[in-house]
Amino acid sequence: MKINFDKHKVTQNELKEWVEYNPRTGKMYRIKGVYPKSGNEYKKRTEVTGTNNRGYRWLKVFGNMYLVHRLAFLYMTGEHPTNEVDHINGDRLDNRWKNLRQCDSFINSRNQGIRKDCTSGVRGVTYSKNANKWIARISHMGERLSLGYFLNFDDAVNARRKAEHDLGYHPNHAR
């Protein structure tokens, strides 16, 4: 098969010729390769283990970089995802088919993990030295909402959790 490697969008059939995906385990394997100098194909079976700087598995196919969870979607449905592909359990390395869903960025943002720079350990809860109180906040529809000031950390956390529930955040959000 002769392929133009410049800006080629891989099809499901081409993908299945070059990789194997196990929907139960979420693992993807290269099953074919190309010698760099000659361009000749050879058979091999190696697990895709490379990750990018954001913690997602990735794979180069026909000279283009693809995220494995997006390739899994193509592999299973025959179509490239038109939206974001969310890892339901929040684990970016868990590409099992039952852990992936296509959703818009609004829904996906409600299933984010906790940020590395979160000092309280709870997303949306911070301590104000000026007020000597805990502050609970949440974002909704692009607007940052204040949930109040609290003397007790647990009260601030409870206010944040209640707001997450009331606004329809995924139960894994910031966990």
Calculate the CA dihedral of residues 53, 55, 57, 62 and round it to 10 degrees: -20
- 88-135 per-position pLDDT tens digit: 988 999 999 999 999 988 778 777 767 777 788 888 899 999 999 999
CA distance 68 to 21: 9
Residue 1 has pLDDT above 50, yes or no: no
Neighbouring C-alpha atoms within 13 Å toward the C-beta of 58:
11
Residue 41 has pLDDT above 80, yes or no: no
Give which of 13, 48, 12 is closest to 30, Cα–Cα.
48
Model-wide pTM > 0.85: no
Q: What's the mean pLDDT in 143-153?
A: 93
Residue 59 near residue 2 (C-beta atoms within 8 A)? no
Helices (H) and strands (E) in the chain, counts: 4, 10
What is the per-residue pLDDT for 120? Answer: 87
What is the per-residue pLDDT for 95? Answer: 98
